[in-house]
Amino acid sequence: MKVTDVRIFPGLISIAVILLLWFFIPVPDGVSDNAWHLLALFVGTVVAIIGKAMPIGAVGILAITSVALTGVTSDNPSIAIKDALSGFSNSLIWLIGIAIIISRGLVKSGLGNRIGYYFISVFGKKTIGIGYALALSELVIAPVTPSNTARGGGIIHTIMKSIATSFNSSPEQGTSRKIGHYLALVNYHINPITSAMFITATAPNPLIVKLISDATGSSINITWGTWALAALLPGLVCIALVPLVVYLIYPPEIKSTPDAKRYSQAKLKDMGKMSYNEKIMIGVFTLLLTLWAGVPAMLFGPDYAVNTTAVAFLGLSILLISGVLSWDDVLKEKSAWDTVIWFSALVMMATYLNKLGLVEWFSHIMGSNIDRLGFGWITSIVILVAVYFYAHYFFASTTAHITAMFAAFYGAGLALGAPPLYLGLLLAGASSLMMSLTHYATGTSPIIFGSSYVSMKDWWLMGFIMSIVNLSVWGIVGGLWWKVLGYW
């Protein structure tokens, strides 16, 4: 019988790291004692997350407690606890938490499945067409599904498996290569791209917005619309390439799939006419996208601008009033409340590391070392982004990776002379695209890899190939697109 979520060995490693940094490694010149001690707590927290010493929400509670009790932000206990809890006042955290709850309506109403089967019924005559149908389904639901795991591993993967099974393609029968192997790879490699396209497409994205704002003294505040517009062209190019690249590397045995179209049409027929709940979800979906994109402000002036988080609360309120979601549904959405807690803890620690000057100190050191190589800022940024990106081989969590490295690498890039918004958008894209690398890179990967359609060798090879493709598109196509938009 399991009585605790604690894993002793990773927990002891985390504690050892904290004690080592706190007591045994001298505080470097130019760094205050409080900043160094907060770094010790921060690194220990990241190690605990990587090692899964406890569920990430529980680790967040311990981090908040540690900051409050040690007084690393203030010697005054009353101020220290306010500092420790300050992350909960960040509106971006609540944006993601509420959006996760809203996305529950996609599943509960069946709208997510209807969208997937609809696209397959349209494009499903060829196997590659099914690949594009899965990609389009992901893209459509991504803006209101902040859990990339729920989107790619819960909704799209379920549809993908049902299609593969209908063609008798399964690992158990040894027939994965018929069609399932191809569809599973497409299913997975679309997920990081859609995650990179919207602030609300994966939980850590608002953290990136906060870190960029802090690093630039609030001179750069990336809005939902700015992010979506910036990612539009590189994202669409990547989405267009994924089914084709996977098809060229691992062509499926079955290339013509007229039955997939009939199968999806039958599924849609079984679902019947669009339900009341689905119609409400479409209305809310449209409303959220319209307000998040700032359409009223564009049409009628800045007085009609609406805060992004307030829009999310409006959407949830409509779903509650209409009965699409019940209050019990809200309470049961554990992932949302879990995200609010761990997200608040990490944002709080990252904020105070910046306020105490440690991020600036580390960024200066790293930027100076790259600068000594004698390259211009463009080559230097290529090196910087590549190191940041491929370091994800050592992470099983994008949140842990972003929390540990983003601020320092962004600061170093600024020191090397990169345009601030260009650099922020490039690193923001890389922060999602790096999910492509391994079978443990994010929560979606073990779900799809665990279905056993793809071997580890194929998974890692395809991951590396797509990393080159995606980074090249984001850096070149994205960079030119941002130039056209006047972002740098």
What is the tens place of the pLDDT at every residue in 22-51?
A: 999 999 998 999 999 999 998 999 889 888
Residues 6+ apart with CB under 8 A from 143: 198, 200, 201, 228, 288, 289, 292
Query: What pLDDT is stored for residue 236 in this prediction?
Result: 97
What mean pLDDT is predicted for residues 91-101?
83
User: pLDDT at residue 293 above 80?
Assistant: no
- Nearest-angstrom CA–CA distance, 129 and 260: 10
Q: What's the pLDDT band for 70 if we cut at 50, 70, 90?
A: very high
- Nearest-angstrom CA–CA distance, 402 and 390: 13
Query: What pLDDT is stored for residue 1 in this prediction?
Result: 43
User: pLDDT at residue 410 above 50?
Assistant: yes
Domain boundary assignment for the chain: 92-332
Q: Which residue, among 249, 283, 253, has the nearest Cα to 111 in the 3D structure?
A: 283
Query: What pLDDT is stored for residue 203 in this prediction?
Result: 85
What mean pLDDT is predicted for residues 284-297?
86
User: pLDDT at residue 318 above 70?
Assistant: yes
Strands (E), 151-289: none
Q: What's the pLDDT band for 322 if we cut at 50, 70, 90?
A: very high
Angle between helices 180-197 and 224-249 (to 10 degrees): 160
What mean pLDDT is predicted for residues 283-312?
86
What mean pLDDT is predicted for residues 344-351?
86
∠ CA(339), CA(343), CA(345), 5° rounding? 130
- Nearest-angstrom CA–CA distance, 211 and 221: 10
Range with top average pLDDT, 237-241, 254-258, 364-368, 407-411: 237-241
Q: What's the pLDDT band for 2 if we cut at 50, 70, 90?
A: low
What mean pLDDT is predicted for residues 204-229?
92
Which residues, listed in sequence order, are joined to residue 126 by a DSSP beta bridge? 256
User: pLDDT at residue 245 above 70?
Assistant: yes
Query: What pLDDT is stored for residue 292 in this prediction?
Result: 85
What mean pLDDT is predicted for residues 306-327?
93
* Model pLDDT for residues 189-205, shown as the tens digit of each residue: 999 999 999 999 998 89
User: pLDDT at residue 400 above 50?
Assistant: yes
- Nearest-angstrom CA–CA distance, 153 and 448: 6
Range with top average pLDDT, 87-96, 100-109, 124-133, 365-374: 124-133
Q: What's the pLDDT band for 62 if we cut at 50, 70, 90?
A: very high
**What is the pLDDT of the chain when averaged over all its residues?**
90
User: pLDDT at residue 139 above 90?
Assistant: yes
* Model pLDDT for residues 162-192, shown as the tens digit of each residue: 888 888 888 989 999 999 999 999 999 999 9
Query: Which of the pair, 367 or 27, is modelled with greater confidence?
Result: 27
Query: What pLDDT is stored for residue 3 in this prediction?
Result: 56
